[in-house]
Amino acid sequence: MSEVLVRGGRVVDPSQGLDALRDLRLRDGVVAEIGEHLEPGDGEIVDAGNAFVAPGFIDMHVHLREPGQTHKETVATGCAAAVAGGFTAVACMPNTQPTLDTPALIAQVKRLAADAGLARVYPIAAITRDRAGVELAPFRSLHEAGAVAFSDDGATVASARVLRQAALYARDVPGVFISHCEDADLKGEAVMNEGERSMLLGLAGEPGLAEEIVIARDLLIAGDTKKPFHIAHLTTALGVELVRFARARGFAVTCEVTPHHLLLHDDAFVRFRADAKVNPPLRTPHDSEALRAAVRDGVIDALASDHAPHAREEKVQLLADAPVGFSGLEIAVGAYAQALPGLPLARFVELLSLNPARILGVSGGTLRIGAAADVTVFADRPWRVQAARFHSKGKNTPFDGLTFPRQALATIVGGAVVMEGGSIRSRAKTNRE
Amino acid sequence: MRERSLLDLDDLTSDEISYLMQRATAFHANPPGRDLLRGVTVVNLFFEPSTRTYTSFSIAEARVGADVVALPPGSSSLGKGETIEDTALTLAAMGVKVIVTRHPESGFPYRLADSFAGHVINAGDGSHAHPTQALLDLLTIWTEFGRLAGLKVALVGDVLHSRVARSNVIGLRRLGADVTLIGPPTLVPDAMAGDGVHVARDLDAILPQMDVVMLLRIQRERIAAAVLATLDDYGRSYQLDARRLGSLASHAIVMHPGPYNRGVELTDDVLGYGGWRYAQQVSHGVYVRMAVLDFLVNGRA
């Protein structure tokens, strides 16, 4: 019998239209009771005074690097970063070494996550074997092993024929197709957005067109095949319009944006350092403004960090050689609030919890009685990003040193408090005792 | 405190650019002797083949009396996985005071300068900058006209991939010249237009108004990359030939950073044109580089 009482917080749960001061009793891994002034039991008490209590945040786009690149991150360190940032669950991309394209590898990731005993981990399996864009991955077996979605991630499926066949073949297998939209040929050797900035710096740039042309293709394939598609990390104003178009036609499509595309632009390349190198690249102020507006007007379904940790010695290389991406889990909640001031809290929670759960078809996203006791407690308290103190092995972020207005205070997974006030406690260790 | 470097022309004020041009002119008239950089160790760290810039720097370094070490391309441990900061630390620990560097990646000299406790001179980085080339170009124009303000300068050809063009645009704008970039949109994108920088497509319409025409090297690889059709097709629109030379104002000069492709961006007629200033550019390069070395190490005279 384990019990946790989350006391004195403003409970924001759009799944049941709740936004009120309530206490929350969690018992045996599920939500047991919501009410005003609940009597403390014999369990732990989490003080949520002057804070918000929400169904656990789910980051549906992270890279955990294991197996194969454990110098960048492990499932355990990635999960520590997740719960430190207020996330009770993450969905991890299959661009590991080897690629997550067999049931055994999916099972391995889930076992590593269980051993870590922190966040829930939902593996995303590849669409094509070895993400090579040629042969189809075994969708049904991958689903049965625990894969919740399918994506070739940064290795965009180049052939429209292969992607269409995959979507048709996998239509009756649960699991959305997640599209990282970049045409490799149009991208070429680009290290940043193509525009005035790339021309001033003499750097190869990727036009927004490289992304939009694939978004359009994948949305049309979604419409044609009736397979649900999720467009990862939208970056351009026109990309938003394409999603709007597809949705107006009734296609089953959803989409996400990242903290960096909401907040940063292609002027972030300080002295040719690679801190801000990411795929797709940071675009223009016009684009990020359009993304922020799209979050507010409902086109965007989810916020996702694209947490992509790398070792320091990799990221300090020259722009052309340095890998793309940076750690995002531990800055995400603060960065979203910074990008979207005044966004109604119910919408904030919907974007971070309810919608990712629905898109992925996983539990969570709600605090209804009997639901899994995954809870995020957060507050509007300014804090300063200190990348050197990340739990993630990747200490790189273009946001280092900035102050953000919102932070996670406690993270509860399956009724166990795994993060409180920044310190982390594994469920696995508790269970062993 | 970080020592002063020359990474691009925006590191210099317009006043400093004028000073360097005057100083170079003075060195040309009266060689300064070999005491200016006596005891100063300079390393030429070139990661890309270079004949004229490398030779020009070597001569300039000798004429100001520096101790020069040349690291030929491929010899650096950077190729063996050493980070830029470790290379910088190593050279500084040996007492190296100045690094002159060329690199195929845009931005390399900036990354080096951020770690190096000495002066870095950019001798060309990727498609980004080539400040000493721009200084010698500015000096050539200044020597010709006695000013830059108000002059109309055309840069013709592959501006997008040209570090020479980029640095020249900065310097020309800083000194008040009016710049026109000319070429097809794959080589001169619309987005290159800016304050005092025009983008044009019709060379024939522009030529009669120009005081200075700077031709840029066309690289044949651009054809395989599909940014250029045939050289003949390029030439129809943008090659400087006898007919187009005839449309120039009588005082107009023609320049090229070299090496030039005869029969591509220019015909041999240009080499016999009275306003062809290529030799002056090359000559000015040595004195400009002497002036830059002296300025960075010793400050203004």
Q: Does B191 touch chain A (CB under 8 A)?
A: yes
Q: Does A208 touch chain B (CB under 8 A)?
A: no
Chain B residues in contact with A318 (beta carbon < 8 A): 84, 105, 107-108, 111
C-alpha to C-alpha distance for B149 and B154, rounded to whole angstroms: 14
Size (chain A), residues:
433
| DSSP symbol at B269 | H
Q: Does A312 touch chain B (CB under 8 A)?
A: no
C-alpha to C-alpha distance for A255 and A269, rounded to whole angstroms: 27
| CATH annotation of A56-360 | 3.20.20.140
Residue B259 tokens, joined: 């090496």
Say what the pTM is. Answer: 0.95
Q: Does A271 touch chain B (CB under 8 A)?
A: yes
Residues A408, A330: contact at Cβ < 8 Å?
Answer: no
- The nearest alpha carbon in chain A to B163 belongs to A202
Give the rounded percent of residues in chain A with a pLDDT score beyond 90. 97
For B199-217, the pLDDT digits (tens) are 999 999 999 999 999 999 9
Q: Does B65 touch chain A (CB under 8 A)?
A: no
Q: List Cβ neighbours of A380 (8 Å cut-off, separation of 6 or more).
A: A337, A405, A406
Give the pLDDT of residue B51: 87
Q: Please identify which of the residues A13, A306, A374, A400 carries the catalytic annotation.
A: A306
Chain A residues in contact with B111 (beta carbon < 8 A): 271-273, 318
Q: Does B126 touch chain A (CB under 8 A)?
A: yes
Encode chain A (433 residues) as per-residue pLDDT tens digits.
589 999 999 999 999 999 999 999 999 999 999 999 999 988 999 999 999 999 999 999 999 999 999 999 999 999 999 999 999 999 999 999 999 999 999 999 999 999 999 999 999 999 999 999 999 999 999 999 999 999 999 999 999 999 999 999 999 999 999 999 999 999 999 999 999 999 999 999 999 999 999 999 999 999 999 999 999 999 999 999 999 999 999 999 999 999 999 999 999 988 999 999 999 999 999 999 999 999 999 999 999 999 999 999 999 999 999 999 999 999 999 999 999 999 999 999 999 999 999 999 999 999 999 999 999 999 999 999 999 999 999 999 999 999 999 999 999 999 999 999 999 999 875 544 3
C-alpha to C-alpha distance for B61 and B171, rounded to whole angstroms: 24
Closest in B111, B114, B163 to A202, CB measured: B163
Note whether B83 contacts A318, CB cutoff 8 Å: no
Q: Are strands A30-35 and A18-27 parallel, antiparallel or unpaired?
A: antiparallel
For B9-64, the pLDDT digits (tens) are 999 999 999 999 999 999 999 999 899 999 999 999 999 888 899 999 999 999 99
State how far residue A148 is from chain B, nearest Cα, in angstroms. 39
Instruction: Determine how many CB atoms are found less than 10 A away from the CB of residue A431.
Output: 10
C-alpha to C-alpha distance for B8 and A82, rounded to whole angstroms: 42
Question: Which residue segments constitute the domains of chain B, with CATH numbers given?
Answer: 9-129+285-298 (3.40.50.1370), 131-281 (3.40.50.1370)
Note whether A316 contacts B84, CB cutoff 8 Å: yes
For domain A3-53+372-432, which CATH number applies: 3.40.190.10, 3.50.50.60, 3.40.50.300, 2.30.40.10?
Answer: 2.30.40.10
Note whether A195 contacts B191, CB cutoff 8 Å: yes
Q: What is the DSSP string of B89-119?
A: HHHHHTT--EEEEEESSTTHHHHHHTT-SSE
C-alpha to C-alpha distance for A86 and A352, rounded to whole angstroms: 10
Listed by number, the residues of chain A in 388-417 with a beta carbon closer than 8 Å to a beta carbon of chain B are: none
Q: Does A207 touch chain B (CB under 8 A)?
A: no
For A291-310, the pLDDT digits (tens) are 999 999 999 999 999 999 99
Q: List Cβ neighbours of A91 (8 Å cut-off, separation of 6 or more).
A: A58, A59, A60, A61, A62, A121, A122, A123, A124, A148, A149, A356, A360
Based on DSSP, count helices (H) and strands (E) in chain A, helices before strands: 15, 21
Cβ-Cβ contacts under 8 Å between A and B: the total is 49
- The nearest alpha carbon in chain A to B104 belongs to A320
Nearest partner of A381 among A398, A405, A400, judged by Cα? A405
C-alpha to C-alpha distance for A302 and A327, rounded to whole angstroms: 18
Q: Does A209 touch chain B (CB under 8 A)?
A: no
Instruction: Determine how many CB atoms are found less than 10 A away from the CB of residue B259.
Output: 9
* Phi, psi dihedrals of residue A295, rounded to the nearest 5°: -65, -45
Give the pLDDT of residue A191: 97
Note whether A318 contacts B108, CB cutoff 8 Å: yes
Note whether B114 contacts A196, CB cutoff 8 Å: no
Of the pLDDT bands very low, low, confident and very high (cuts 50, 70, 90), residue B220 is confident
Give the pLDDT of residue B74: 64
Note whether A203 contacts B106, CB cutoff 8 Å: yes
Note whether B166 contacts A202, CB cutoff 8 Å: yes
Element (DSSP H or E) covering residue A145: helix A139-145
Q: In chain B, what is the straight-line distance between the N-terminal and C-terminal CA atoms, in Å?
A: 21
Domain residue spans in chain A?
3-53+372-432, 56-360
Q: Does A311 touch chain B (CB under 8 A)?
A: no
Residue A28 is among the residues annotated as catalytic for this protein: no
Give the pLDDT of residue A2: 85
What is the ipTM score, two decimals? 0.94
Instruction: Please check the confidence at residue B258 and state whether its pLDDT lies above 80.
Output: yes
- The nearest alpha carbon in chain A to B7 belongs to A271
